[in-house]
Structure 1
Amino acid sequence: MTPFTVLGANGFIGRALVAHLRHCGRAVHAVTRATLAEFLAARRPAGHVIDCIGLNAGFRTNKLATADAHVGLVARFLGGLDLQSFLFLSSTRVYARTEPAREDVALEVQPASASDLYNITKLAGEALCLSDPRLAVRVARLSNVYGPGMGTGSFLGQVLAEGAAQGAVTLRQSLLSAKDYIAIADVTPALLGIAERGGARLYNVASGANTSHDAIAGVLTRRLGWPVRVADNAASIRFPRIDVARLSVEFGAPPSAVLEDLPALAAILRQEAAC
């Protein structure tokens, strides 16, 4: 059975992929940023490669590192690895200015907008992959992935960490804001399926349903007892509904269960804080 190589194995998604593969009895080579240079120099057969190396929350202050992670390294991987397949993890954030959020639509970006740097570099990495003649080079656009160990770099991670630590939450985005959330437990099998046998080159990996901040605040208050206030001048961040028809046909669409999962995630954070 062909082994896997996970690039960025110390990150949230990378760690989950490595754990899932090992649980399934699959051979996996976990490559971190610290071991990346050694891995590239060895030129060993890489099998199915999943590229989880990317910058999220820090992209505004680490612009060159963001471009290198999303474009420069992808070019090196495609040009230098002995691989059977390659899966680049992009983001559904590229649909921020576009609707419908479907894989085949033309996308709009604003190079002069600092917030678009992330999207532009992700799309450049996608272009490198999708222009590669090898059909097994693919792209997965991930929505907001949540689960144990997600850290505080995302909206949901920050909110849960703040609530667990303080017993109250201040939202810096309005209650009208809404996003698509997908559990890490649903992401890992979907990514492995795409890497090994995906029939398309590009997939949205999402739940296909948006959850409002208002609904999340309701769970935090009713189920967890955390008072929720909204900061003055909080902006509304609303993304289009992500189309998951392509994913559904081949692998089944993951459910939208973030509201049901919030209490368990909060309990994990409280337990970690107590240790």
Structure 2
Amino acid sequence: MRFTVFGATGFIGGTLTAHLRAAGHEVLTPSRHEVPDGDLGHVVYAIGLTGDFRSRPLDTVDAHVTVLADRIRGARFDSWLYLSSTRVYSGIDATTVSEESVPLARPTADGIYDLSKLLGEAICASRPEPTVRVARVSNVYGAGAHSDTFLGMLLADVAAGRDITVGEGPQSSKDYVAVDDLCRMLTHVATAGKHRLYNLASGQPVTHAEIADVIADRTGVGVTFAPDGPTRTFPTIDVSRVRAETGLRPARLTERLPDMLAEAAAQPTPSHS
């Protein structure tokens, strides 16, 4: 089976490319500036910005919208899967279970990211082909993940043996999805998805306090919380749609975190000469 992965040099795109090739698929990985012709097969559009989007607003719009429009225009493909983000649910009350059809609230202060993702979604929704789909992806972790994420910074502190002070309240929470679980879900949605919009997440939010407890128990690194830190909670992401189609039960972060901490703690400390 042929796949084309746009954004194959990034964390998700690169991991997905390796996953697909290991399964015996042909995978094309055009550069961001290349407009490939011919049959692209099943396309996964994974070009995007992560932690640096606040300082690069125009690049954010280019990645999420402009390049997408240029690549999908006139392309020949079996399916097209655009990777959006569950951040688009961030303005919704935390008690709301966010299924794919939930009405979205007004964008938050990070609106340029959310709005650019939603515009990318709208471009895909405007296409008449039923195989043009959108996946709203949660916070992804695993080998090769960006070090500037909340979890990445915690692991770096563990590796360095530094005590940690978290700037948000202990009951702040996020949904985290393992990259290997995500790759399995992406492969299904790209090739056999029955809907045009999917949440791809664990569906199980994890609080900062839970993460801190595992860190303290497994590593001895102290974790404290800033006394005036805000509590930022996120709606529970409904993943029943993808679970019904695949039977997958994505792992909860706390199931994987002990092994991740052991790996981080075992990393050699850089020498200063």
Report the TM-score, using the length of structure 2 for normalisation: 0.92
> Could you list the runs of 5+ residues in structure 1 that have no partner in the other structure?
none
Match of 2:202 among 179, 187, 207: 207
- Partner Cα distance (1:189, 1:198) in 2: 12
1:166 CA displacement: 3.1
**Is 1:70 matched with 2:64?**
yes
- Partner Cα distance (2:251, 2:168) in 1: 21
Deviations 1:13-46 (A, max 9, x none): 1111011011111111123xxx232x30x42321
1:211 CA displacement: 0.8
Which residue of the partner structure matches residue 32 of structure 2? 36
Match of 1:192 among 187, 190, 196: 187
Amino acid across the alignment from 1:157? G
Residues 1:221 and 1:270: Cα distance change in structure 2 (over 3 Å): closer
Match of 1:49 among 21, 31, 43: 43
1:259 CA displacement: 1.1
Which residue of the partner structure matches residue 91 of structure 1? 85
Which residue of the partner structure matches residue 18 of structure 2? 19
- Partner Cα distance (2:77, 2:40) in 1: 5
Which residue of the partner structure matches residue 177 of structure 2? 182
Which residue of the partner structure matches residue 213 of structure 2? 218
Q: Match of 1:82, SS?
A: coil
- Partner Cα distance (2:158, 2:116) in 1: 33
Amino acid across the alignment from 1:166? G
Q: Match of 1:83, SS?
A: coil
Query: Are the aligned partners of 2:158 and 2:265 in contact in 1 as well (CA < 8 Å)?
Result: no
Q: Match of 1:222, SS?
A: helix
Amino acid across the alignment from 2:112? L
**Is 1:229 matched with 2:224?**
yes
Deviations 1:47-99 (A, max 9, x none): 11101100111111100010111111111122132211110001111111123
Q: Match of 1:167, SS?
A: coil
Query: Are the aligned partners of 1:182 and 1:256 in contact in 2 as well (CA < 8 Å)?
Result: yes
Deviations 1:120-173 (A, max 9, x none): 110110011012111110000011111111121321111111221233222122
- Partner Cα distance (1:178, 1:168) in 2: 20
- Partner Cα distance (2:146, 2:59) in 1: 20
Which residue of the partner structure matches residue 163 of structure 2? 168
Query: Are the aligned partners of 2:219 and 2:265 in contact in 1 as well (CA < 8 Å)?
Result: no
1:105 CA displacement: 1.6
Which residue of the partner structure matches residue 100 of structure 1? 97
Q: Match of 1:5, SS?
A: strand
Q: Match of 2:124, SS?
A: helix
Report the TM-score, using the length of structure 1 for normalisation: 0.92
Query: Are the aligned partners of 2:168 and 2:226 in contact in 1 as well (CA < 8 Å)?
Result: yes
Query: Are the aligned partners of 1:109 and 1:120 in contact in 2 as well (CA < 8 Å)?
Result: no
Q: Match of 1:267, SS?
A: helix
Amino acid across the alignment from 1:47? G
Number of residues paired by the alignment?
267
- Partner Cα distance (1:255, 1:21) in 2: 19
> Could you list the runs of 5+ residues in structure 2 that have no partner in the other structure?
none
1:253 CA displacement: 4.1
Match of 1:61 among 37, 55, 63: 55
